[in-house]
Amino acid sequence: MRSAVPVFLVAGLSPNPNRASLRAARHAAAGAAKLSARWPLVAASFFFVSELIQAVLTIDRVADFLERFAPTHLAEEWDNVGLLVGDRRRPLQRIMTCLTLTEKSIDEAVDKAADLVVSHHPLPFRPLRRLSSDTLQGRRLLKLIRAEVAVYSPHTAFDSAGQGINERLAQGLGLSRIMPLVPAETEFGSGRIGVLKRAVSAGDLAQRVKTFLQVEHVQLVGRVEAALKTVAVGCGSAGELLPQAIDQGCDAMVLGETRFHTCLDAEAADIVLILPGHYASERFAVEQLADVLTQEFPQAEVWASRREHDPLAWL
């Protein structure tokens, strides 16, 4: 019981104690309890130093949180997720979230002195053989590295997570009894399937998609008046999930975007497709992720990129 108070003191000083910090705190507190009996001054110094260590926010602590929030084992095999650029030990004050690291979002991160960018889409994505200014990717990475901006990408781990993009998209469209479309070994997985409380027309669901994602246009495959009850969702380019949605008897599927031949497959299977665009289907979640990080790390300044935009214009 002697260590109970020091554990509380050391762990309590951390604004966001996690399991690792609690373990470290318990370990430290056990030593501190022994010290305090003999050398109260040494023990006081020990607590002070522990307090300082716990209070400093580092890239590692944010990466550790993100790895639990969007567990990396949920990422697709071909993906590249986690801390992709940066030094975990560096202190951190400013975090920017964005969908993609483009010239505009990188300039914003550098101009605003972000210490970490949480970019949904990974950079780098494919294995690098060289890092030079000869390529667009090389120039982007060099600019980030020179400005000491770290990069964390949750990508498909965030798509599939319990509070990830597809879950939020399904909730936002008013689906209930939401389940993963392709369950992973854990309780989560790729895409989502759910039911509407009352059947609605494809036109009505398209309107819900527009309202939730704040877009003026969507593409539609199928009849506007088709009655829908069971709906699947897959953010981004998740057309490969269409066969599972058909197998599970879905009346409709909301995808960010998909290929022409996937649209033909949907038409042939008599399943409605609603396509609001890749950007819109994921950008809202990047904004919500900034809110999650603000709540978790109130001592940091967190914002969703204000300069990135959909490269596609909808006329």
Q: Which is nearer to Zn ion, 251 or 282 (CB)?
A: 282
Which residues are bridge partners to 82 per DSSP? 153
Cα–Cα dist 315/303, whole Å: 29
Cα–Cα dist 58/150, whole Å: 11
Stretch that binds Zn ion, among 61-69, 132-140, 233-241, 268-276 (CB under 5 A): 233-241
Stretch that binds Zn ion, among 5-13, 56-64, 71-79, 234-242 (CB under 5 A): 234-242
Q: Which is nearer to Zn ion, 124 or 203 (CB)?
A: 124
Query: Quick check: 122 binds Zn ion (CB under 5 A)?
Result: no
Q: Which is nearer to Zn ion, 99 or 226 (CB)?
A: 99
Q: Which is nearer to Zn ion, 50 or 153 (CB)?
A: 153
- Provide, rounded to whole angstroms, the least separation between the CB of residue 282 and Zn ion: 5
- Provide, rounded to whole angstroms, the least separation between the CB of residue 295 and Zn ion: 24
Stretch that binds Zn ion, among 145-153, 179-187, 229-237, 291-299 (CB under 5 A): 229-237
# residues contacting Zn ion (CB under 5 A): 2
Cα–Cα dist 260/126, whole Å: 26
- Provide, rounded to whole angstroms, the least separation between the CB of residue 222 and Zn ion: 23
Query: Would you say 76 and 54 are in contact if contact means Cβ atoms under 8 Å apart?
Result: no
Query: Quick check: 277 binds Zn ion (CB under 5 A)?
Result: no
Q: Which is nearer to Zn ion, 3 or 100 (CB)?
A: 100
Phi–psi pair at 85, nearest 5 degrees:
-140, 135
Tokens of 39: 């050398």
Stretch that binds Zn ion, among 27-35, 53-61, 259-267, 281-289 (CB under 5 A): 281-289
3-state secondary structure of 98: strand
Q: Which is nearer to Zn ion, 222 or 256 (CB)?
A: 256
DSSP notation for 177-202:
EEEEEEE-SSS-EEEEEEEEEEEEEH
CA-based nearest residue to 152, from 237, 258, 75: 75
CA-based nearest residue to 173, from 230, 102, 96: 230
Query: Quick check: 236 binds Zn ion (CB under 5 A)?
Result: yes
Query: Would you say 6 and 33 are in contact if contact means Cβ atoms under 8 Å apart?
Result: yes
Chain residues that interact with Zn ion, rule: CB under 5 A = 236, 282
